[in-house]
Amino acid sequence: MSDHVNSKLRMPINYFRRITSRHMPRWVVLNIDLAVVSFSFIFSFLVIQNLTQTPVSAKVLFSILPVVVVFRAMAILVTKSYRGIIKYTSSQDAIRIFFAMSMSSLAILVVQQYLLRFHGIHLMPFAVIVMDFAISLAMLTSLRLGYKLLYRQLAKSKYGIKYPTIIYGAGRTGIIAKRSIEADVSSQLKVVAFLDDNRLLVGKSVEGVPIYNFNKKFDFLVDKFAPRELIIAIPELASYKKKKVIELGLQHNLVIKNVPPIDTWINGEFSFKQIKSVKIEDLLGREPISLENKNIKRSVNDKVVLITGAAGSIGSEIAKQCLWYNPSMVILLDQAETPLYELEYQLASEKVELVVANVSNRGRMEQVFKAFRPDVVFHAAAYKHVPLMEENPYEAVTANVFGTRITANLAVKYKAEKFVFVSTDKAVNPTNIMGASKRMAEIYVQSYNNLLSITDDTHTKFITTRFGNVLGSNGSVIPRFQDQIEKGGPITVTHPEITRYFMTIPEACQLVMEAGAMGNGGEIYIFDMGESVKIVDLAKKMIKLSGFREGADIDIVYTGLRPGEKLTEELLSDKESTIGTHHPKIMIAKVKESNYQEVNEVIENLYQIRDKATNRLVVATMKQLVPEFISNNSIYEELDEHVAFLKGNN
């Protein structure tokens, strides 16, 4: 019997849930509002007439009613008070209703005074207008608030328990975040505390939620409320501080989320759905390097810019940043057709020209230089994957060495002002073919610059930039870890002690462009990348940031160093030192200078026998030009052993 009764009770509740799950149509809201104001006027009119004991006929009453309803309807339409979503009613909606009722009541009063003065017609007592205004305002507002409260109550029973949440930042953004969470019943979150470092705010409360000191009360709050999430609501928070907040939250296994910058809010308004998980970039641990935009603008403005490898992570970001500085044209060159096409769609600029070409094809590259005659060349085209190039040394040399030589030679032939070469920290004391090929390219462009500086004062200036791993770049460790986490693991790490330097893509590209602006030719620019990061620590933090637990949800598996891979990367070799620049974070590496004729002869000999050369011969030639290239975990270690044996006998 009780089950039968409960099922009958659940029927209207479920029906109401289905109705409230959809937004009520505006025409329905408008008609309900008009019905309410009609009832209010009739009730007010009858009450006042009864109190004054003035007899009134139904004919008089219903002849005045249409006039009142028309004025109310016009005011409702003008203020758009009927257009708000009822279940999300806010103070703004109440204000609109107030203005609608005030405007229409004032209009009714003006009309009545006009008719009384010029025609001697008295529509109704003044008390009716006042009472009607008060009742209409109260009923329209109460109906909306009542609907909202009922919706929330039923939604709570549907979505279940609310999980405690802490917001870091009790300022304007934090308050907006709290309100958005409360307004969205599907969020399943309840803000129980604010954290802040501002002493003027600590100890107070915001809308009933207390504000605590972050440094002193964090552990206390975690023990007291057992929160599920920590939301960072200070968009301009310094990187080192953000890292501290995130890492402290991760230690307590909290899900860390972030309120995006205000300029990214949709139409200037914020919603709960915009709160996103923090990115691994937020744990980089240092302030982003800010460079001189004036220098970059001066070097790019009204210039023809050629970007090779434009479809890659670095090349595409250079293209985006170039367009900020008003070049006359940007030529995007890559052999990857589809990514190049997608980049054009993203940029959507009339100044962009696409070229599908391979930098190692001299004839095709000659056509490009002859047609466009670029003023500035950013050479980012390269093969970069270490294990893959270890198995394909011919391709590594063809793209990274021959391609660079062809592009550099054409830049000189067609009188480009600057040639900026994008290198890597793997070129320092290389242990793999990819790094050695990039070091060969470094040696070539630098020796070429030295030769030209002697013979030509107006020569093309060759500049090299050298930096570490780029967060989120194509094929890098971050996207791979994210993919493994999404698949449920395991995360594969080659070695528990392996470390790398990291920077963001925008930072890397700013460095490349700043180098092009400030370089006078022959420099290899490096910069302070902060502390190197253990890859396994990165993996552990990514697991926590994804809301999982290491071991319980996602495992980490060590697979061993890959061919050519080393435990730590370097920005300088033992024989290199640095000199400072105008920017404290940017330095110039002082490297051993090479003779252009000797360098070019080695590369040319390899180029001439490229179709007949074995992998062993290619690698042996690379070691000849880059004597510090010592293979690691590779089949080519035997070449180093052979050289060591010969030296020992001599």
Q: Annotate 315-345 with three-state secondary structure.
A: HHHHHHHHHCCCCCEEEEEECCHHHHHHHHH
Cα–chain center distance at 442: 32
| DSSP collapsed to 3 states, 84-107 | CCHHHCCHHHHHHHHHHHHHHHHH
For residues 493 and 535, the answer to whether their CB atoms sit within 8 Å is yes
Do residues 422 and 465 lie in contact, with contact meaning Cβ atoms separated by under 8 Å? yes
DSSP, residue by residue, 197-219: S-TTTTT-EETTEEEEEHHHHHH
Q: Kindly tell me the burial class for residue 36, based on how many C-beta atoms sit within 10 Å of its own C-beta (0-12, 13-18, 19 or more).
A: middle
Residues 292 and 514: beta-carbon distance below 8 Å: yes
Task: Dig out the tokens for 192 from the structure.
Answer: 């129980």
**353 and 340 Cβ atoms separated by less than 8 Å:** no
The rounded distance, in Å, linking the Cα atoms of 524 and 593 is 11
What is the separation of C-alpha 204 from the centre of its chain, rounded to a whole number of angstroms?
Answer: 33
> Which residue, chain included where needed, has tokens 């608030």?
145
Q: Is the peptide bond before 479 cis (omega within 30 degrees of 0)?
A: no
In terms of DSSP bridges, do strands 352-356 and 491-493 run parallel, antiparallel, or are they unpaired? Answer: unpaired
DSSP line for 331-400: EEEES-HHHHHHHHHHH--TTEEEEE--TT-HHHHHHHHHHH--SEEEE------HHHHHH-HHHHHIII
Numbers of helices and strands, H then E, in the chain: 22, 22
| Catalytic residue of the set 148, 426, 541, 544 | 426
Nearest-5° Cα angle at 149, 144 to 150: 100
- 111/99 Cα distance (integer angstroms): 18
φ, ψ for residue 266, nearest 5 deg: -70, 115
- The residues with which 306 forms a beta bridge, in sequence order, are 331, 377
Pairing, β 533-534 against β 577-580: unpaired
- Cα atoms in the Cβ-side hemisphere of radius 13 Å centred on 155: 21
Beta strands in 239-286 (DSSP E): 255-258, 276-277
Cβ atoms within 10 Å of 40's Cβ, excluding its own: 23
DSSP 450-509: HHHHHH-TTPPEEEEE---EEET-TT-HHHHHHHHHHTT-PEEES-TT-EE-EEEHHHHH
Distance of alpha carbon 73 from alpha carbon 31, whole angstroms: 9
DSSP state of 267: T
The yes-or-no answer on residue 426 being catalytic is yes
Dihedrals φ, ψ of 292, to 5°? -80, 100
Candidates 385, 544, 522, 382; CA nearest to 462 is 522
What span, in angstroms and rounded, lies between the C-alpha atoms of 463 and 477?
28
Residue located via tokens 């790019």: 300
Catalytic residues: 426
